[in-house]
Structure 1
Amino acid sequence: MAKKIKDENGNTYVQKKPFYKRVWFWILVVIVVAVGASMGGNKDNGSKDTSSKSESATSTSTAKIKHSDFDAVKIGDLMQSADGGDTLDSLKEKFGEPKSTSSSETNGVKTDVVTWDKVDNKIGSSMVISFTDGKAFSKDLTGFKLTRKNKIDLAQFNEVANGTSYNDVINKFGEPDNYTETLIGGDKQTMVMYTSGVKGDLGANFNITFSNDAVSGKSQTSMK
């Protein structure tokens, strides 16, 4: 929110919040870092921008992870140092060593993105958790391919309106193939993506975004 300031002559100026303190900026950072990690980990791209840096490491995930385990992971608010989120140490103790770890630093805020693979023993699926100060503030479930009894078509997708509840969407379409949940600045942001059982051309898919469990946007590709 912009802040109004008056000078000694009575003139009013608007002081905008720095972009790196805005919620949208950190949501974008989380999405970029998480996507990079799920594709094999972040690597330093040689940029001269010293405000952001990253490092990565890989190992082998050993524990069996259930979908319910992912659902149970607690996340805290990034703007509150992720207080209340599960700790990295506790999740390592529960799930074993992760498949990969990636670290980055943006404007003095360090985040660690940790990936465990084979959720419900599904090849290609991953649980990706983002941490700051060793506590979780974001979680992603990727590549969780589902077998659906009925295909989801474009007409059904178009029926989803802004404000529709998260539970109503899940009851309508079933569990998503990809799920992302982040808590930043007191707002819970969720994005779900459906890639299996979608009617359309090869690669047809759609995603729906939620703000505090209410639909705030959606998009689709090649649906019929």
Structure 2
Amino acid sequence: MSKDNAEGNRRSYKAKKPFYKRVWFWALAVIVIFIVGGSLGGKDNSNATNNAGKTTNVNSEKSESTKNDNSGKITRSQFDSIKIGDLMNNAQGGDTLDSLKRKFGKPESTSSDTTNGVKTDVVTWTNVAGEFGANVMVSFTDNHAYDKNLTGFKLSRKQTIKLSDFDAFSNGTKYSDFTAKWGQPDYYNESLISGSTTIVAGYTSGVKGGLGANFNVTFTNGALSGKTQSGMK
């Protein structure tokens, strides 16, 4: 056998390197690791982002809910929005007791009376945005409101109302014009009976006079029809 043939045989029987020791294997492995790792990382980041968004939304809704729940006070505009019906027509069209309970919450007290066969209920709420002792009273018949009363609502009156001003109040003045000039009353009662709406507006703040000076003005169907005063100067 020639020397060249012997050398060729030695080369042909020389052991090959295992595949895991070859450069191309490790290069391919590194590429695969980068691809898989990037995919998993992107998914985790996406989930984290989504979860963070969900957490933010939940916290935001909870904060808003808490904000709404913390008010809990009957405002002047809410009182004004109470609808009353005619007592002689079973107060149909007036707000129901159940609807006001849902709106204002559980009342502080309830009393009942029957006159000439007509049963009435007087319901009082004290969770009013006003001074100490402020309350809202609503009278019902057949579960519908026909009379509403507000006492102690907190006011900041700029005007000073003197006895001479009171003397100048004239019958026929519209309620809207009166309150535009003298402001909203401290005490307010409105009822609807036999088609006639009666408003009694009481003023205690900004009234010039001795301790406890006050006056009431009565409006029938929106026009001034009577007035009384005590202790004014």
2:125 pairs with 1:119: no
- Count of paired positions: 163
Find the counterpart in structure 1 of residue 49 from structure 2. none
Which structure has more relative contact order (CA 8 Å, sep 6+)? It is 1
1:110 counterpart residue number = 119
Instruction: Write out per-residue CA displacement over residues 63-99 of structure 1, whole angstroms, 9 at most, x where no aligned residue.
Output: 3211110000000000000000000001001111101
The structure richer in strand per residue is 1
Structure 1: how far apart are the matches of 2:175 and 2:130? 26
AA aligned opposite 1:98 = P
Corresponding residue of 2:106: 97
Offset at residue 121 of structure 1 (A): 4.6
Within the alignment, does 1:63 sit opposite 2:72 as a pair?
yes
Which amino acid is 1:97 matched to?
Answer: K
Unmatched segments (≥5 aa) in structure 1:
1-61
For the residue of structure 1 that corresponds to 2:166, the secondary structure is helix
Aligned-residue Cα RMSD (Å) equals 1.3
Taking only the aligned residue pairs, the percentage that are identical comes to 59
Separation of aligned partners in 1, 2:206 and 2:133: 17
What is the TM-score when the length of structure 2 is the normalising length?
0.68
Q: Which has the higher helix share?
A: 2
Partner of 1:85: 94
- The 5-angstrom pairing of residues 1-224 of structure 1 reads 63-224=72-233
Is residue 124–residue 144 contact of structure 1 (8 Å, CA) maintained in 2? Answer: no
> Deviation at 1:195?
0.7
d(CA) in 2 for partners of 1:149 and 1:216?
A: 25
Alpha-carbon distance in structure 2 between the residues aligned to 1:189 and 1:106: 20
Structure 2 unmatched runs, 5+:
1-70
Q: What is the CA–CA distance in structure 2 between the aligned matches of 1:135 and 1:150, rounded to whole Å?
A: 37
Q: How far apart, CA to CA, are the structure 2 residues paired with 1:222 and 1:160?
A: 17
Q: CA deviation at 1:111?
A: 0.3
1:140·1:181 contact (CA, 8 Å) conserved in 2? Answer: yes
2:130–2:153: 8 Å Cα contact kept in structure 1?
A: no
